[in-house]
Amino acid sequence: MAAASMIRSVFKKELFSGKVAIVTGGATGLGRAITEELSSLGCKVVIASRRLENLEKAAQEINEAIPISLRPRVFPYQCNIRNEEQVKSLMKYTIDTHGALDYLVNNGGGQFASPAISAKGWLAVVETNLTGTFYCCKHAYNEWMAGHGGAIVNIIADMYKGFPNMAHTGAARAGVQNLMMSLALEWADCGIRINCVSPGIIYSETAAKNYGGRHVFDEGLHIIPAKRLGIPEEVSGAVCFLLSPAASYITGTTIKVDGGQSFYRSPFTIPEHNSFPPPLEDPELNSKL
C-alpha cells in the first residue's frame, strides 16, 4: 500500500467534506485504498473489521497524512459483519460519535479456493459476503438512511460466467447484486442510492497472501484483456464516483473494474470428456453431428 502521503485522487479536494462513511474491511487492500481516498477528500471514515490491531494501525497511518488540525478522519471499530448485533453497534457508534452516516461501503469479505467445499465453508462465505452485506445495509437503513438518505456501494466479484472453484462466493456475490437491485427500488423513496463495484483481479499484498502469493494472481493475466492486474486505487476511484454527487442519478447498477475480464475468457478449463448425453438423449441423432 502506498504511503498515505502519496494518496492520489482525480476528484476535487473537499468533495466529501463534512460527510461520514463506514468502510468494512477498511484496513487492508481495496478497503484501505477506499478509506485513504475518501479521507483525503474530506470524509470521516469509520473502518470496521474483525482484527482491531490492523484497524488501529491503518487508522494511525492514514491519519498521519492528514493536516494535524483536521485529524483524526479515520476511526477504527471492531466488528464481525457476520454478527448482526455487532453490525448494529457499528451503526450506532458511527451515528452517536459522528452525527451521521452518509455512505456505506460493503467491502469486507472474502473466500478461499476449493472445488468441493464443506457445508461449514459454504456457510462461512455466504454468511460473510451475502448475509454480512445484508446486515450492514439493513442497520444503516434502520439507524440513519431511512430518514436521511445516503449512498451504498457493495464490492462484489467477477462471477458472471459462474465461479468454478469458488462457487460459494459466486453464489454470494450474485446474491449481493440482486439484493442491491431490490433495495434500490425499495429504498428509492428514502433518497438512498445503492450500487455495486465488481473488481477483476486486483493485486494487494493482503489479498495475494490469502491465496498463497502474487504468482497466483499473475496466473490470471491470460484472461485479462488489459494484460495487467488492477490495483486497489482503481477500484477506489469507481467507489468514490458512485458515492459522489456525479452519480446522483445512478442507482441499482454495477460498475465493473476488471480490465475487460468479465466478458473475455473463463480461467476454468473443462477436461476432455464424453459424458454429455447425445442430442435429445438419442444416440442415433449423433449422426446429425
Ligand X SMILES: CCCCC/C=C/C(=O)SCCNC(=O)CCNC(=O)[C@H](O)C(C)(C)COP(=O)(O)OP(=O)(O)OC[C@H]1O[C@@H](n2cnc3c(N)ncnc32)[C@H](O)[C@@H]1OP(=O)(O)O
Ligand Y SMILES: NC(=O)C1=CN([C@@H]2O[C@H](COP(=O)(O)OP(=O)(O)OC[C@H]3O[C@@H](n4cnc5c(N)ncnc54)[C@H](OP(=O)(O)O)[C@@H]3O)[C@@H](O)[C@H]2O)C=CC1
Written as nine digits, the cell of 104 is: 456505506
The residue sitting closest to ligand Y, measured at its beta carbon, is: 29
Piece in contact with ligand Y (CB under 6 A), picked from 20-28, 66-74, 140-148, 236-244: 20-28
Tell whether residue 54 is a contact of ligand Y (CB under 6 A): yes
CA dist list (Å): 106 to 24, 117, 131, 198: 6, 24, 11, 12
Sequence letter at residue 289: L
Tell whether residue 110 is a contact of ligand Y (CB under 6 A): yes
Please say whether the dihedral angle defined by the alpha carbons of residues 44, 50, 53 and 54, taken in this order, is positive or negative.
negative
CA dist list (Å): 63 to 35, 37, 235: 11, 12, 21
Q: What distance in Å separates the CA atoms of residue 41 and residue 244, rounded to the nearest whole number?
A: 11
Tell whether residue 83 is a contact of ligand X (CB under 6 A): no
118 binds, among ligand X, ligand Y, none (CB under 5 to 8 A by kind): ligand X
94 binds, among ligand Y, ligand X, none (CB under 5 to 8 A by kind): none
Neighbours of 266 (CB within 10 A): 14
Tell whether residue 175 is a contact of ligand Y (CB under 6 A): no
Site string for ligand X, 167-196 (x = CB under 6 A): ------------------------------
Tell whether residue 217 is a contact of ligand X (CB under 6 A): yes
Tell whether residue 76 is a contact of ligand Y (CB under 6 A): no
Tell whether residue 210 is a contact of ligand Y (CB under 6 A): yes
Tell whether residue 204 is a contact of ligand Y (CB under 6 A): yes
Q: What distance in Å separates the CA atoms of residue 206 and residue 1, rounded to the nearest whole number?
A: 10
- Short-list 76, 180, 64, 168, CA closest to 123: 168
| Site residues (vs ligand Y, CB under 6 A) | 24-25, 27-31, 49-51, 54, 79-82, 107-110, 128, 132, 155, 157, 199, 201-202, 204, 206-207, 210
